[in-house]
Structure 1
Amino acid sequence: MTDTAVYAAGAVVWRLVENKLRILVVHRTAYRDVTLPKGKVDPGEMLAETAAREVEEETGIRVALGAPVGVSKYHLPNGRQKIVHYWAAEATDIAIRASSFVPNKEIAAVEWVSVKKALGYLSYPVDIEILENFLKLVDDGVLSTFPIIALRHGKAVSRADWDGPDASRPLSGRGKRQANAIVGPLQAFGVRKIISSPAVRCMKSVVPLSAALGRSIDRDDRLSQDAWEQGRADVRSLIGHRVRSGKAAVLCSHGPVLPDVLSELALATGTLRGSYLGSASALEVGAFSVVHLSATNPGSGIVSIETHAPTV
């Protein structure tokens, strides 16, 4: 992110009503316009966290983000560029019933409309372009997705400053801050399953997420660096199980193991492998890549991959 641009995030929120697709638009009070729910990034937030938060704040609906659907860029009256990242996001019946939305000084109303109406209803061309990107997922039959997230552990105490076993190296101060910083973004993607290498630096990287979700961490030696170096890390069986489960999960592992994780995700879903896998697996500490898979037909391949760098 640059200092001159204004960053924001939002979502194309959708639901099926009697098998017909409906899109959620918001009527803004001050601007008297119709737009997609979005808002500016708060200090320290990752973009995905912003998107989920803003959707809930503007519509009262808590969503889990699906596949990314584009970035809009335009200039504000003061000359600064505004950059808005968008995701698809399904609104479940439970989430809609739980909404406590009431008209307020920012949002006058929310409205579910057909795609055809939305295309002629939205006030800004940049919103229409995002909706058209979203419709490509619909046309490809991959609108409903679930994520498998490859996470590299947070920054650990250096080997030079540690005289115990490598697997026992703890997180540094920065690593602990990174572990806290990823909680919101991973929740934004609807993570419910946490799987980690047994190494201390991996386990501690997902402890804050475990606490926030109220869910335990599954220790899995197939993600450990020791097992990988000894040639006994059966990543394929782990990935196969996760793909078949169709559930949102985060896998916390090590730099050398992550290329195998991404490669096996491609193989398990019939996706052509390429340099994009190397980019998605070459993560710095505290970073993660979100692999979006079709919930109805995982064998159709990877829908998209996005990588998020740490904010601390």
Structure 2
Amino acid sequence: MTETAVYAAGGVVWRVVDDKLRILLIHRTKYRDVTLPKGKVDPGEMLAETAAREIHEETGIRVALGVPVGVSRYHLPSKRTKIVHYWAAEATDAAIRASAFVPNKEIAALEWVKPKKALARLSYPVDVEIVENFVRLIEEGVLRTFPIIVLRHAKAVERGDWQGKDAARPLSPRGEKQAKSIVGPLVSFGARKLISSPATRCVTTLAPLSAALDRKVGTTKLIGQDAWEEGTSDPRKIVGERVRARKPAVLCSHGPVLPDIMSEIALATGTLRGSYLGSASALEPAAFSVVHLSVDNPGSGIVAIETHIPKI
């Protein structure tokens, strides 16, 4: 991020009604325009967290983010550049029923329309481009997705400063802050199943998320560093289970193990391997890569990968 730019995030919120897909447009009161739900990043937020929060604040609908659908850039009257990141986001029937939206001083109305109608209704060309990207996902049949989130544990106490077994090495104070900071972004992607290396630094990284979701962390040596060093790790088994389950999951492991996990996701989904896998697995402490896979046909390959780095 640059200091001169203004960052924001939002989404193309969609639902299926009577077998017909509709997307959500918002009519803003002050500007008298038609646009997509979005808003500026709050201090300390990661972009995905902003997108989910702003969608909820403007529409009353809580969503889990799906595939990224583009970034818009335009100049503000102040001459600063505004950069807006967008994700596709399905609005479930339950989320819509739970929405308490009423017209207010910011949002005059919500409107569900066909994607092609949205292209004609939107007030700004930059929004049209985002919806065009969204339409391509529909045409490719990969709109409905689920994420496998590959997470490197947060910053741990240095090996030289720790006298016990390496597997028991705890998080540093910075690592503890990182673990708390990634809860919001991980929740934004619908994280539910939590799987970790048995090492303390991995389990503790997931502890704040576990508490937020009220879900236990499952541990397995198959993605642990000790097993990896001994040649007994088996990320293929864990990845295969998650791909078959077709449900959002977080796999928390170690730097040396992450390339194997990412490679197994590619193999399990029939994806051509390339340098992008290396980039997605070369993660800093507490950073994570979200691998989006098709719910209807996971074997059709990775739909998208995005990497998120904590600010702490």
Q: Same fold, TM exceeding 0.5?
A: yes
Aligned to 2:199: 199
Deviations 1:82-122 (A, max 9, x none): 00000000000000000000111111111101112101000
Structure 1: which 4+ aligned runs deviate by more than 3 Å?
Answer: none
Partner of 2:112 in structure 1?
A: 112
1:245 aligns with 2:245: yes
* CA-to-aligned-CA distance 1:233-291 (integer Å, 9 cap, x gap): 01101100000000100000000000000000000000000000000000000100000
Q: How far apart in 2 are the matches of 1:157 and 1:143? A: 41
Give the corresponding residue for 1:123: 123
2:247 is paired with a residue whose SS is: coil
Measured in 2, the distance between the counterparts of 1:299 and 1:137 equals 16
Matches within 5 A, 1:141-290: 141-290=141-290
Q: C-alpha offsets along residues 179-201 of structure 1, whole Å, 9 cap, x if unaligned?
A: 00000000000011100000000
Tell me the CA shift for residue 2 of structure 1: 1.0
The aligned amino acid for 1:75 is H
Q: What residue in structure 1 maps to residue 36 of structure 2?
A: 36
Cα distance in 1 for partners of 2:77, 2:198 equals 52
Distance in structure 2 (CA, Å) of the matches to 1:181 and 1:60: 24
The yes-or-no answer on 1:298 pairing with 2:308 is: no
Q: Which amino acid aligns with 1:12?
A: V
Query: Secondary structure of the equivalent of 1:260?
Result: helix
Distance 2:116 2:276 in 1: 34
Which residue of 2 is the match for residue 3 of structure 1?
A: 3
Quote the Cα distance in structure 2 between the aligned partners of 1:269 and 1:138.
19
2:45 corresponds to 1:22: no
In structure 2, the partner of 1:50 is 50
User: Residue 86 of structure 1 aligns with which residue?
Assistant: 86
Task: Quote the sequence identity (%).
Answer: 73
Gaps of 5+ in 2: none
1:206 alignment partner, SS class: helix
CA distance in 1 between counterparts of 2:311 and 2:137 reads 29
Supply the AA of the counterpart residue of 1:138: I
Tell me the CA shift for residue 220 of structure 1: 1.0
Q: Match of 2:2, SS?
A: coil
Matches of 1:271 and 1:304, distance apart in 2: 11
Letter in 2 for 1:22: R
Q: The residue matched to 1:66 in structure 2 has which SS?
A: strand
**Equivalent AA in structure 2 for residue 263 of structure 1:** S
User: What root-mean-square deviation, in Å, do the aligned CA atoms of Structure 1 and Structure 2 show?
Assistant: 0.5
Gaps of 5+ in 1: none
2: CA distance between counterparts of 1:194 and 1:105?
40
Provide TM-score, normalisation by structure 2. Answer: 0.99
Q: Which amino acid aligns with 2:253?
A: S
In structure 1, give the amino acid aligned to 2:101. F
